[in-house]
Amino acid sequence: MTLIKPHGADALNPRIASGQRLADLREEADGLLSITVSSATAANAVMLAAGYFTPLEGYMNRADALSVAKTLSTTQGLFWPIPVLNLVESFSGEPGDRIALRDPNIEGEPVIAVMDVSAVESLSDHDMALMTLEIFGTQDPEHPGVATFNGQGRILLSGPIEVLNYSYFQSDFPDTFRTAVEIRSEIESRGWQRVVAFQTRNPMHRAHEELCRMAMDDLQADGVLIHMLLGKLKAGDIPAEVRDDAIRTMVDHYFPANTVMVTGYGFDMLYAGPREAVLHAVFRQNAGCTELIVGRDHAGVGDYYGGFDAQTIFDERVPEGSLEIQIYRADHTAYSKKLDRVVMMKDAPDHTPDDFVLLSGTKVRQMLGQGIAPPAEFSRPEVAKILMDYYQSLDS
């Protein structure tokens, strides 16, 4: 059985150290110049370590960062949708140094990686503005991704890294955090060939659940990888441990055995809409998936992106053959009162808005906070109970 090839390589390139090499790096790091990096940089290290960013070996330099931002390709021609950067506010070293990168997300800021500094470059206001606009489609400082990106500093350190650990993800989410290497291995052990990935930073309601079923049926897939983001989110988003509980409960109650893998990955949400959807495709291909579900406003926030921009970018900006993974395009899904099931709204042209059970996120949060379960057509009661308990705990 041959799984889909990783992106740009014949095999995964996880940048994690182990065994004697890990022991040697830990000892060496004690004597190196060390800097505490941003959460975004630490998350990039985790993704490099886990093989999700195959074939990259480390952080991009200015030329590659600008090339990726403008053309979705490195200067060497590797297709890549979003720059992978280590931005800092100050740096006392120089090119050629080996340095230790410290993790801001763990008490005591332990070393997460050792880096060979290939270049130290200052980014201009123009560089930052160009990358911000290309990546996020806006320069609005109220956009959470824009604010995070522009708050890290302007000094760009590039070069390969070796990673010592997976930050807090492995310890905080031992049952859920999985590397691309581990997911590929499990897909093989299950005997799956066609695997559809579902990306989520939210709990899954009935529409999400049914969308996974629709994709499985339409594609005749062997299984679904529900792959949840475990890193930093914007204020107001539901914490990973609550989402994890809700999703596992839904899968345990409503999916047949050996059809779903519930896993998570260690990355901070960018809220970059279309560009992030393409990045999601890259690391799902690296994890061994053959298709990725891309729905309405995938990876979006607020009103910054059109409803289907994350689908059309694959037609407009992803050259033929750049990715082996395919996209399963989903419309808005909702429960049809007429048909007594969840449907894609585009497949029900004879319906009026009143024929669907439609609730805004704000309305759902209000109901849950008041201890009111959303309609069963919208959310499974077992899931609603977990979310009600969470929202009510915020008020107590």
Show which residues are catalytic: 201-202
Three-class SS of the chain: CCCCCCCCCCCCCCCECCHHHHHHHHHHHCCCEEEECCHHHHHHHHHHHCCCCCCCCEECCHHHHHHHHHHCECCCCCECCCCCCCEECCCCCCCCCEEEEECCCCCCCCEEEEEECCEEEECCHHHHHHHHHHHHCCCCCCCHHHHHHHCCCCEEEEEEEEECCCCCHHHHCCCCECCHHHHHHHHHHHCCCCEEEEEECCCCCHHHHHHHHHHHHHHCCCEEEEEEECCCCCCCCCCHHHHHHHHHHHHHHHCCCCCEEEEEECCCCCCCCHHHHHHHHHHHHHCCCCEEEECCCCCCCCCCCCCCHHHHHHHHCCCCCCCCCEEEECCCEEEECCCCEEEEHHHCCCCCHHHEECCCHHHHHHHHHCCCCCCCCCCCHHHHHHHHHHHHHHHC
